[in-house]
């Protein structure tokens, strides 16, 4: 089918020909009327559709505090329903080729808007380290090796993740979160461009990556989540893996969730509101892990501090 924009283009209700000489004459009279009245004394700013303004909310919090992503959105009418979370699967499907590129493109655009909006978070030379799909939800994780924080505060991590609903094969970004964290504090911002699926009650905790993760261990770097309008709650866990780790399964909230492991990172998420009790810089979390090593060894049902 022809592109719909090309189809409707000829049906312009106000083509250029509609602005005739009579209209131009009336316009000149109106201009004279405005100028004759002189400039108004005050600058009266029209509302910028505050109720419709979505998107950028961000917060900076101490590393041990829970981040509340305050996104209050009430839109009249037209709220769509989704089966995105109903299609969730415990096993991820890696995205590659055009699907990966499409997700990367969509996420990069939203992240760029977030970075332009807030100078308080940075993401230098990000690399798309994970792109996975569970049902109709695709998630991308970006990491950056750039560390720009004070040396005394130790390593500083810049990262981002992006969650998109796949609609007719097209990833529609629901939320992108950019986070910076060091040993003293974490700063993050959330971009929620989809007015039909606004993220409310967002939360998250971020910490710097451990530089000394044993080859057969995993280390958490963030636990975050929120509630998506007309979809539900979700929890998203990210971390780093040792060099010999090829598989991670997280046992939490009554689920066994297989993580995507790639480029030294892992990612898993599930539709539930568990916060796992994790604090940055610690290995204490209300979840257990099964880790598969490169030689086939399975370290089953252990906590991260036991690895």
Partner 1 sequence: MSREERFAAIYHREHAGVLRFLARRTTPTHAEDVAHDTFLVAWRRLDDVPVEPADARAWLFGVARHCLLNAQRSTSRRTALEVRIAAEASGVVPGHDDAAAARVDLATAWDALPAAHQEALALATWEDLTSAQAAQVLGISSAAYRIRLHRARAALRAALTPTPAAPAALAPEGAR
Buried b (16+ CB within 10 A) or exposed e, 41-63: eeeeeeeeeeeeeebbbbbebeb
Q: What is the smallest separation between the CB atom of 59 and partner 1, expressed in angstroms?
A: 18
* CB-based contacts of 293-301 (< 8 A; 24+ apart in sequence): 293/216, 293/244, 293/245, 293/246, 294/244, 294/245, 294/246, 295/244, 297/216, 299/216, 301/251
Residues in the interface with partner 1 (CB under 8 A) total: 64
For partner 1, give the closer residue by CB, 136 or 182.
136
Segment contacting partner 1 by CB under 8 A, of 71-79, 230-238, 283-291, 294-302: 71-79
Closest CA to 181 of 223, 136, 139, 212: 223
Using rule CB under 8 A, residue 16 touches partner 1: yes
The single residue among 75, 79, 125, 246 that binds partner 1, judged by CB under 8 A, is 75
Using rule CB under 8 A, residue 135 touches partner 1: yes
Q: Is 11 helix (H, G, I), strand (E, B) or coil?
A: helix
Q: Is 49 helix (H, G, I), strand (E, B) or coil?
A: coil
How far is it, in rounded angstroms, from Cα 142 to Cα 115?
14
How far is it, in rounded angstroms, from Cα 87 to Cα 65?
32
Using rule CB under 8 A, residue 110 touches partner 1: yes
Binding mask 189-228 for partner 1 (x = CB under 8 A): --x-xxxx--------------------------------
> Could you identify the residue written with the tokens 């750039």?
146
For partner 1, give the closer residue by CB, 86 or 298.
86
Pairing of strands 245-252, 137-144: unpaired
CA 12 to chain centre: 38
Segment contacting partner 1 by CB under 8 A, of 10-18, 211-219, 227-235, 281-289: 10-18
Binding mask 153-192 for partner 1 (x = CB under 8 A): --------------xx-x-xx-----------------x-
For partner 1, give the closer residue by CB, 197 or 275.
197
Quick one: tokens of 88?
């969730």
**Which residues are near partner 1 by CB under 8 A?**
1, 3-5, 7-16, 18-19, 23-24, 26-27, 30-31, 33-35, 39-40, 42-49, 51-56, 75-78, 83, 86-87, 89, 109-110, 113, 135-136, 167-168, 170, 172-173, 191, 193-196
């Amino acid at each position: 089918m022809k592109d719909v924009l090309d189809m409707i283009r000829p049906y312009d209700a106000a083509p250029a020909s509609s602005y005739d000489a009579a209209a131009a004459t009336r316009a000149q009279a109106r201009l004279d009327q405005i100028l004759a009245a002189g400039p108004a004394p005050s600058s009266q700013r029209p509302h910028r559709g505050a109720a419709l303004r979505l998107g950028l909310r961000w917060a900076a919090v101490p590393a041990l505090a829970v981040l509340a992503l305050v996104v209050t959105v009430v839109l009249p009418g037209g709220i769509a329903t989704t089966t995105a979370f109903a299609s969730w699967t415990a096993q991820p499907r890696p995205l590659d080729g055009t699907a990966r590129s499409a997700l990367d493109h969509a996420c990069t655009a939203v992240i760029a808007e977030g970075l332009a909006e807030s100078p308080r978070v940075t993401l230098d030379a990000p690399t798309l380290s994970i792109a996975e799909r569970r049902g109709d939800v695709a998630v991308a994780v970006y990491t950056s090796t750039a560390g720009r924080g004070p040396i005394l505060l130790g390593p500083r991590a810049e990262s981002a993740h992006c969650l998109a609903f796949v609609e007719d094969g097209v990833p529609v970004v629901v939320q992108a979160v950019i986070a910076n964290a060091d040993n003293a504090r974490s700063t993050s911002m959330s971009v929620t461009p989809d007015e039909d699926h606004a993220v409310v009650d967002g939360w998250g905790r971020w910490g710097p990556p451990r530089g000394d993760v044993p080859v057969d261990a995993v280390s958490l770097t963030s636990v975050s989540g929120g509630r998506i309008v007309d979809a539900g709650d979700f929890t998203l866990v990210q971390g780093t893996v040792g060099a010999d780790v090829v598989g991670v399964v997280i046992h939490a909230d009554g689920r066994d969730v297989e993580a995507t492991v790639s480029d030294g990172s892992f990612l898993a998420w599930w539709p539930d509101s568990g916060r796992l009790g994790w604090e940055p810089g610690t290995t204490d979390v209300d979840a257990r892990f099964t880790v598969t090593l490169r030689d086939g060894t399975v370290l089953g049902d252990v906590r991260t501090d036991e690895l």
